[in-house]
Structure 1
Amino acid sequence: MRYALYFTPPADDPLTLAAARWLGRDAFSGAVLEQPAVPGLDRERFFDLTADPRRYGFHATLKAPFALKDDASDTALLDAFERFAATQPAFDIPELTLTRIGSFFALVSAEACAPLQDLGASAVRAFEPFRAALSEADIARRKPETLSERQRLALMDWGYPYVFEDFRFHMTLSGRVPEAEQPALQAAAAECFAGFIGRPLTVTTVGLFVEPAPGAPFTARALLPLAGLG
């Protein structure tokens, strides 16, 4: 079993509902949903291109998936999660935008947002005492030879290469998309999320997600309000 700390809006938030339909799965209920039609891509192909984010559920990673150390417990982790949420202030991302990162698409902050970086850094540190060390296979999957020296050190020290200075908030909407298919997927995503792009996003919640078995879909174990909202 693995756990992850994510930002995701509440289950009934319009962004969560739009993203669940886009991905074809609701990470709160586990329901499988019919995805929208994408001009230029057949349904099976669109299903394949969204397979990775569908398994993880709509989210932005704060603390990447980790297994518990032998001396850590689920109960202690949940207690720490409650304490964490109670000490982190809610804030606004000034503007959400759709972008391509490498060959995948995501919703991201349009500009640097210090409270967002602070939340990510706090989550990495707060839950590190619960994280089991990575296996050799885990390390190899991250392709350390492709990382910068700072990212390789972060992978070994924190279990994930993209932390602190290298943290970039993103809510993933696709897996890797071949160049020829990128225009169709980008246009469909822009239409699906038109009501959220170019507008602020208020960060009011934090979620603890769980992967019950290797390769299984992640589901929301708990969602808590940030400080001042309980």
Structure 2
Amino acid sequence: MDLNAYARYALFVVPSSAFYAAGAAWLGWDSVSGETVAHPSVPGVPVSVDALTEKPRKYGLHGTIKAPFALAPGQTEAALRAACRSFCADQPPVRLPGLKITRLNRFVAAVPTAPSSELGTLAAAAVEALDPFRAPLTEAEIARRRASRLTAAQDALLLRWGYPYVMDAFRFHLTLTGPHPQAEALQNALTAHLAPTLPSPFDITDLALMGEDGAGRFHLLNRFTLAAHPR
């Protein structure tokens, strides 16, 4: 019998570069090695790094492609791995011109320096392809998401796909902080700290299947290569 070892699964972009090492240290969690990492000392950060990164830490440095989900009844981790492998083998790699540090409302993230329709297409295809593996949201989960004051379009996406920021609402980003009123100061400090490691270009050549353990931290399970030639 195939036992599902994790509470939830997700499909992420997880960089494999100096930027990843710097970002994992900043967050305090390396999802690839499954180890905690000491926070660096970053000049200009006005608050405790540990408190500032508490919310994003458990996910590790990542960009969401398919948001975390529990497996649907009858589905297995082994079948999900196989589906991810098959999906990625049929998708082309994506090249972004680079990443920059910016504010998204009250938190700070790394985002592409220019929009990419190819990345949006990849994310939409992944959301649809893996949706049969996703357990339906509970009423409590729906209520928690709706507490964020979703638009009507986002609410419809939540009910259809289990997550409100997909398809036309998808905005790729790698979260670096939780919400904080001094986001501008944090943006400036993290730009200075991470600038030497920011990739340019940023090539997405694989997607990472992640599993959430009992403590709520995500671990790398597999990297699946994006193998198809660009269309």
Deviation (angstroms), 1:91: 2.1
Aligned-pair identity in percent equals 41
Residues of 2 paired with 1:84 and 1:4: CA distance?
14
Unaligned stretches of 5+ in structure 1?
none
Is 1:149 the counterpart of 2:152 in the alignment? yes
Shift of 1:178: 1.7
Matched, 1:108 2:114: no
Shift of 1:18: 1.2
Shift of the 14–132 alpha-carbon distance from structure 1 to 2, 3 Å rule, reads same
1:42 and 1:108 mapped to 2: Cα distance?
22
Flag the 1:42–1:151 CA change in 2: closer, same or farther, 3 A.
closer
Question: Which position in structure 1 is the counterpart of 2:193?
Answer: 192
Matched, 1:221 2:224: no
Q: Which runs of 5+ in 2 are unaligned?
A: 1-6
**Alignment CA distance shift 1:228-1:120 (3 Å):** closer
Whether the 8 Å contact between 1:22 and 1:192 is mirrored in structure 2 is no
Q: Is the 8 A contact 1:9 1:205 kept in 2?
A: no
Contact 1:96 1:196 in 2 (8 A): no
Q: Residue 172 of structure 2: which of 152, 169, 172 is its match? A: 169
CA gap of 1:79–1:101, structure 2 versus 1, over 3 A, is same
Q: What amino acid is aligned across from residue 88 of structure 1 in structure 2?
A: Q
Query: 1 CA distance for matches of 2:148 and 2:36?
Result: 37
- Answer whether contact 2:146 2:155 (CA < 8 A) is retained: no
Q: Deviations over 1:106-162 (max 9, x none)?
A: 111122111111111011001100000000111111125711111101000000001
* 1:54 aligned to which of 31, 54, 57: 57
For residues 28-66 of structure 1, the C-alpha deviation after alignment (integer angstroms, 9 at most, x for no partner) is 1122111111334477x2111111111111100011100
Aligned residue-pair number = 223
Q: State the TM-score, normalized to the length of structure 2.
A: 0.90
Structure 1 equivalent of residue 33 of structure 2: 29
1:202 deviation in Å?
Answer: 0.6
**TM-score of the aligned structures, taking structure 1 as reference length:** 0.91
1:194 match: secondary structure: helix
**Would the aligned equivalents of 2:19 and 2:198 in 1 still touch at CA under 8 Å?**
no
Q: Does 1:140 align with 2:146?
A: no
RMSD: 1.8
- Partners of 2:207 and 2:193 lie apart in 1 by 24
Separation in 1 of the partners of 2:103 and 2:59?
A: 19
